[in-house]
Amino acid sequence: MGDGLPRGVAAAVAGAPPGYNRWWIPPAALAVHLSIGEVYAFSVFKNPLVEHFDTKLTPIGIIFSIAIVMLGLSAAVGGRWVERNGPRKAMFVAAVCWSGGFVVAALGVAADQLWLVYLGYGVLGGIGLGLGYISPVSTLIKWFPDRPGLATGLAIMGFGGGALIASPLSSKLLDVFADQPQDAIVGAFLVLGALYLVTMMAGAFTIRVPPEGWRPEGFDPAAVERRTLVTTGNVNAKNAIRTPQFWLLWTVLFCNVTAGIGILEQASPMVQDFFPDVSAAAAAGYVGLLSLCNMSGRFVWSSTSDVIGRKPTYMIYLGVGAVLYLLVASSGTASIVLFVLLTGIILSFYGGGFATVPAYLRDLFGTLEVGAIHGRLLIAWSCAGVAGPLIVNAIADARKGAGAEGADLYTLSLYIMVGVLAVGFIANLLIRPVDRRFHEDVEPQRDRRAAAEPAMAGARGERG
């Protein structure tokens, strides 16, 4: 026992026995990310909650905002705890918080206390989101040193895919438990909480950390380290935030997410404003299509980054992304097919940006505390989650006030997003390898190398 957790959890930094297949790790990570990805389907509960509490959309929208802010904060604050205690304990706590959040929120709905829903789904659930999001990342990178982009892309794709499962499932549960959706929320929350508890626990008890010094058969670390940005050293989380590279990458992520989330959040009204013939139902289909692009981009682009490198991949996200935004702004109304194609690719870049960033951090800062550094970087997500929709909504409101309509409501926002992406592009260009003075144990390593030198020379038969 330890930390008040069950024995199987507390005992574990959960090392893998010899010969353990590394392909048993991704489903454990996916189980967690598919579960917490439900948060993107929260909109299904919005109208039933508005009806149940007899309130407006804004107080209900706050639930999601609290959850996303808590995601960023808990990932930033809890990152080092996750690194110290290992993925199993982190996933266990994430599962308890996430499913516990549903239970507390269900209590809030049953008792007509909205603040309990804020506390449950928002605060408690948000902590589960943050810890669950970062918990498998560094373990995956250690198991897949040859293909970190593929491994993290696979897991983080789950976060995008979670909503695709949760959305129809939640709708069905709301139909099953009562005649009116607003009367079925408690039952739906309890079933989802139980389902996610079982799924995430299965992930927690399956994940294993590789043995010290483990590497896949035929893998030559030197081949990877020859790439310009890939470090041979390790930087701890405390030092990482003192490097310009961390803040440049923070800017890159912030710009990429701000641009993507601006479209994602406004997708349904935007397509209807660009093309007045599009019905609300067809707009919902368009939103589903964007979710698919977001999800598949996470896997496809992150895996591609293993081949072409992280920096060139972000040059595509930000550079090509800016050109695509320009095309949407200038000729998006020309054809709905063109509009859907352009925004679909933009959303695939948005997802790709999330999935590629852990591997980029590994390249720059090493594997020592990559999970903790990733957690701190995710604050950029919380900030972009506020900035992106704020830019698009505020400008659309102002333009509407000035008498503009249709696509004109968004033109200025789209040009601003081109500028935002250009800033990110420049930040990415400025990223250089981290100075060696930030590396851990530089001196001891050098000392050990110096001490080993005569012995190695002896082994090679050299004489001074």
Partner 1 sequence: MSEDVQHGSSAAGRAKVLWVVVVAGLGYGVINTVTQVVDLFSG
What are the residues binding partner 1 (CB under 8 A)? 15-21, 24-25, 27-28, 30-31, 34, 158, 161, 163-165, 167-168, 199, 202-203, 205-206, 208, 281-282, 284-286, 288-289, 291-292
Q: Nearest distance from residue 169's CB to partner 1, in Å?
A: 8
Q: Nearest distance from residue 299's CB to partner 1, in Å?
A: 11
In the complex with partner 1, which residue's Cβ is closer, 20 or 415? Answer: 20
Q: Nearest distance from residue 160's CB to partner 1, in Å?
A: 10
In the complex with partner 1, which residue's Cβ is closer, 120 or 161? Answer: 161
In the complex with partner 1, which residue's Cβ is closer, 189 or 196? Answer: 196
Q: Nearest distance from residue 167's CB to partner 1, in Å?
A: 8
Q: Nearest distance from residue 267's CB to partner 1, in Å?
A: 13
In the complex with partner 1, which residue's Cβ is closer, 214 or 247? Answer: 214
Q: Nearest distance from residue 165's CB to partner 1, in Å?
A: 4
Q: Nearest distance from residue 216's CB to partner 1, in Å?
A: 17
Tally of residues, the chain: 464
In the complex with partner 1, which residue's Cβ is closer, 161 or 389? Answer: 161
Q: Nearest distance from residue 453's CB to partner 1, in Å?
A: 36
In the complex with partner 1, which residue's Cβ is closer, 293 or 395? Answer: 293
> What 3 state SS string does the chain have?
CECCECHHHHCCCCECCCCCCHHHCHHHHHHHHHHHHHHHHCHHHHHHHHHHHCCCHHHHHHHHHHHHHHHHHHHHHHHHHHHHHHHHHHHHHHHHHHHHHHHHHHHHHHCCCHHHHHHHHHHHHHHHHHHHHHCCHHHHHHHCCCCHHHHHHHHHHHHHHHHHHHHHHHHHHHHHHCCCHHHCHHHHHHHHHHHHHHHHHHHHCCCCECCCCCCCCCCCHHHHHCCCCCCCCCCCHHHHCCCHHHHHHHHHHHHHHHHHHHHHHHHHHHHHHHCCCCCHHHHHHHHHHHHHHHHHHHHHHHHHHHHHCHHHHHHHHHHHHHHHHHHHHHHCCCCHHHHHHHHHHHHHHHHHHHHHHHHHHHHHHCCCCHHHHHHHHCHHHHHHHHHHHHHHHHHHHHHHHCCCCCCHHHHHHHHHHHHHHHHHHHHHHCCCCCCHHHCCCHHHHHHHHHHHHHHHHHHCCCCC
In the complex with partner 1, which residue's Cβ is closer, 6 or 15? Answer: 15
Question: Can you say how many angstroms the Cα of residue 418 is from the centroid of all Cα atoms in its chain?
Answer: 23
Q: Nearest distance from residue 147's CB to partner 1, in Å?
A: 18
In the complex with partner 1, which residue's Cβ is closer, 289 or 422? Answer: 289
In the complex with partner 1, which residue's Cβ is closer, 287 or 315? Answer: 287
